[in-house]
Amino acid sequence: DTAVSQTPKYLVTQMGNDKSIKCEQNLGHDTMYWYKQDSKKFLKIMFSYNNKELIINETVPNRFSPKSPDKAHLNLHINSLELGDSAVYFCASSQDGWSETIKNIQYFGAGTRLSVL
């Protein structure tokens, strides 16, 4: 079983459309994340949820809205897609964000490659 699964793997859409990416983890982790990886492979955090509560909200356009219906799911909805939103989006989870122990390891999904035309 895949520990962190994202769907879809590829998403091709037109500018101005609205799209969602789903993420589920079956690791029993408390914290989930969304990252954006640009064309130069730079990885930047966008959002983080701990036990369904938003704890990190980086400088991201408000066209991006995360939703965590429960601890195991964190979805990303994007409104009015723009060309600059084209990137790979990664979902990740970790067991406990507050400890310095091995629990802080983040496990990543396979990524969703979003192409906005």
Partner 1 sequence: AQKITQTQPGMFVQEKEAVTLDCTYDTSDPSYGLFWYKQPSSGEMIFLIYQGSYDQQNATEGRYSLNFQKARKSANLVISASQLGDSAMYFCAMRDTGGFKTIFGAGTRLFVKA
The candidate with the shortest Cα–Cα distance to 56, out of 37, 74, 78, 82, is: 74
- The whole-angstrom separation of Cα 54 and Cα 49 is 4
Q: Is 55 in the site for partner 1 (CB under 8 A)?
A: yes
Other Cβ atoms less than 10 A from the Cβ of 78: the count is 21
> Can you give the length of the chain in residues?
117
Tokens matching residue 22 = 């789903």
**42 is a contact residue toward partner 1 (CB under 8 A):** yes
Site residue total, partner 1 (CB under 8 A): 30
Query: Is residue 60 near partner 1 by the rule CB under 8 A?
Result: no
Q: Which of 25, 50, 68, 75 binds partner 1 (CB under 8 A)?
A: 50
Q: Is 115 in the site for partner 1 (CB under 8 A)?
A: no
Q: Which of 39, 41, 59, 70 binds partner 1 (CB under 8 A)?
A: 41
Pick 18 or 96: Cβ nearer partner 1: 96
Q: Are 10 and 110 in contact (CB under 8 A)?
A: no
- Contact pattern from residue 70 through residue 109 relative to partner 1, giving x for each residue in contact according to CB under 8 A and a dash for the rest: ------------------x-x-x-x--xx-xxx-xxxxxx
**90, 109 in Cβ contact below 8 A?**
yes
